[in-house]
Amino acid sequence: MMTKPCIISVAITGSLPQKKDNPAVPISVSEQIESTQEAFEAGATIVHVHVRGDQGQSSSDPERFLAFKNGVNKHCPGMIVQFSTGGRGRESELRGGMLHHRPEMASLSTGSVNFPGMIYENHPLLIDELAKKMLEYDVKPEIEAFDLSMLYNVEKMVKQGLLKSPVHVQFIMGMPGILPANKEVLKFQIEQLNKVLPDATWTAAGIGRHQLTLNNWALELGGHCRTGLEDNLRFDKDRLASSNAELVTRVAELTTEYGRTVATPAQAREILSLPASH
């Protein structure tokens, strides 16, 4: 039944330095481009990116985002670049400050949620403002759904004209404060998405050790997969992942077990209703 190609999205670099960081996490823009190229060659067709400053700190520098996009466009033909507008370690007024560089996609959270030890705050006005900027610069949002309520907010925003159909939603699971990595909950979210936005596409992402679990469930349930060192630093409980490409390779190999294939850049673009080339 399921012969549909799976888009593999790679989240190469987390927004904040982590306590137990993995030296394989690319920090400088040139490291990020190199890591992305390896992941692209392993099968990833979307790269989700946060940029970092010279000391490895979170950064909102639009020029770094632009340099990354240019490098990926050059070295990874057809790959879709997705800028993060995520808030950890960034001031809210700077979170959309690079959208004028027109990445093909950008992340957009449609609600606030608690993360371990912090509030991931997305004020209603900020959500609308980011959505408007994405419309203005022709950027397709990837909706980051940390909670079920965020899905219904998407439905409302589509009705208001703040989001264009078909939308692409990412279900994120498996961290304290957000939805747990629970298959019944994922299935329920997919059912609801299919009801309220029947033409939407979806990806699932699991945090930490749940990454591989969500990769399996997404393949089984007909969705798309996200992997990468932003969400998970380990290959398994015994060792750290050696690269983003290693995590992508693992998902690419899994696709055959579910009768799926790895989406090519052209297929990914078709599935997401993005232009064939840029």
Contacts with Zn ion, residue ranges (CB under 5 A): 84, 86
In the complex with Zn ion, the residue whose CB is nearer, 11 or 268, is 11
Place of tokens 């989406």: 263
Nearer to Zn ion, 203 or 255 (CB): 203
Q: What are the residues facing 119 on neighbouring strands?
A: 114
Pick between residue 36 and residue 255 the one whose CB is nearest to Zn ion.
36
The residues pairing with 9 across neighbouring beta strands, listed in sequence order, are: 46, 226
Q: Which residue has the CB atom at the shortest distance from Zn ion?
A: 84
Give the nearer residue to Zn ion in terms of CB position, either 5 or 86. 86
Listed in sequence order, the DSSP H helices in the chain are 29-42, 62-75, 124-136, 148-159, 183-196, 210-221, 244-255, 265-271
Minimum distance, C-beta of residue 86 to Zn ion, in the bound complex (Å):
5
What own/partner pairs with CB < 8 Å and gap ≥ 24 does 59-63 have?
60/90, 60/91, 60/94, 60/95, 60/97, 60/98, 61/98, 62/97, 62/98, 62/100, 62/101
Q: Which C-beta is closer to Zn ion: that of 106 or that of 200?
A: 106
Closest distance between Zn ion and the C-beta of residue 114, in Å?
17
Q: Cα–Cα distance between 109 and 123 in angstroms, integer?
A: 10
